[in-house]
Chain A
Amino acid sequence: MRKIRVAAVAAGAALLLTACAPAAPGGGMAGELTVYAAASLGPAFEDLAAQFEADNPGIDVRPLVLDGSQVLATQIAEGAPADVFASADEQTMDRVTDLVHAPAVFATNTLAIAVPPGNPAGIEGLADLAGADVTVVLCAAEVPCGAASRALLDRAGIAFDPASEEQNVGAVLAKIDAAEADAGLVYRTDILRGDVDEVAAEGSDEVVNRYPIAALRDARNPDAADAFVALVRGETGQRILAEHGFGAP
Chain B
Amino acid sequence: MTARREERDASAGNLPRILALPAVLALALLVVPLAGLIARADWPSLWTDVTSRESLDALGLSLVTGLIATAVCLVLGLPLAILIARARPGIAAVLRVLVTVPLVLPPMVGGVALLYLFGRSAPAGAWLAGWGLGLPFTTAAVVVAQVFVALPFLVLAVEGAVRAVGVEYERTAASLGAGRWATLWRITLPLAAPGLVAGLVLCFARAIGEFGATALFAGNNPGVTQTMPLAIYTAFNGSGVGEGPAVALSLLLLVTAIAVLLLVRAWRPGSVR
Q: How far is the CA of A2 from the CA of B136 in the complex (A)?
A: 20
Q: Which residues of A contact B136 (CB under 8 A)?
A: 75, 78-80
B45-72 vs A, Cβ < 8 Å mask (1 yes, 0 no): 0000000001011001101100000000
* A63 pairs with B223, CB closer than 8 A: yes
From the candidates A2, A66, A168, name the one contacting B223 in the complex (CB within 8 A). A2
* A79 pairs with B239, CB closer than 8 A: no
* A79 pairs with B129, CB closer than 8 A: yes
B52 to chain A, nearest CB (A): 12
A67 interface residue, CB < 8 Å from B? Answer: yes
* A80 pairs with B57, CB closer than 8 A: no
A24 interface residue, CB < 8 Å from B? Answer: no
Q: How far is the CA of A79 from the CA of B114 in the complex (A)?
A: 13
From the candidates A6, A63, A80, name the one contacting B222 in the complex (CB within 8 A). A63
* A78 pairs with B121, CB closer than 8 A: yes
Q: How far is the CA of A219 from the CA of B222 in the complex (A)?
A: 18
* A75 pairs with B54, CB closer than 8 A: no
Q: Which residues of A contact B238 (CB under 8 A)?
A: 39, 169-174, 177, 194
Chain B CB count within 10 A is highest, among A66, A77, A79, for A79
B126-159 vs A, Cβ < 8 Å mask (1 yes, 0 no): 0001000010111100000000000000000000
Please name the residue on chain A nearest to B135 by beta carbon. Answer: A79
* B222 pairs with A62, CB closer than 8 A: yes
From the candidates B120, B139, B220, B222, name the one contacting A78 in the complex (CB within 8 A). B120
* A79 pairs with B224, CB closer than 8 A: no
Interface size class of A (residues with CB under 8 A): 20 to 34
* A174 pairs with B236, CB closer than 8 A: yes
A42 interface residue, CB < 8 Å from B? Answer: yes
From the candidates A1, A2, A78, name the one contacting B115 in the complex (CB within 8 A). A78
Q: How far is the CA of A60 from the CA of B54 in the complex (A)?
A: 16
Q: Which residues of B contact A172 (CB under 8 A)?
A: 238
B237 interface residue, CB < 8 Å from A? Answer: yes
Q: Which residues of B contact A171 (CB under 8 A)?
A: 236-238
* B64 pairs with A1, CB closer than 8 A: yes
A81 interface residue, CB < 8 Å from B? Answer: yes
Q: Which of A19-59 touch B at CB < 8 Å?
A: 34, 39, 42
* A66 pairs with B121, CB closer than 8 A: no
From the candidates B57, B129, B219, B237, name the one contacting A75 in the complex (CB within 8 A). B219
B194 interface residue, CB < 8 Å from A? Answer: no
B125 interface residue, CB < 8 Å from A? Answer: yes
B240 interface residue, CB < 8 Å from A? Answer: yes
Beyond contacts A2-B57, A65-B219, A170-B239: 8 other A-B pairs, Cβ-Cβ < 8 A, are: A3-B60, A3-B61, A75-B219, A79-B136, A80-B137, A168-B237, A171-B238, A194-B238
**Interface, chain A (partner B; CB < 8 A):** 1-3, 6, 34, 39, 42, 62-67, 75, 77-81, 166-174, 177, 194
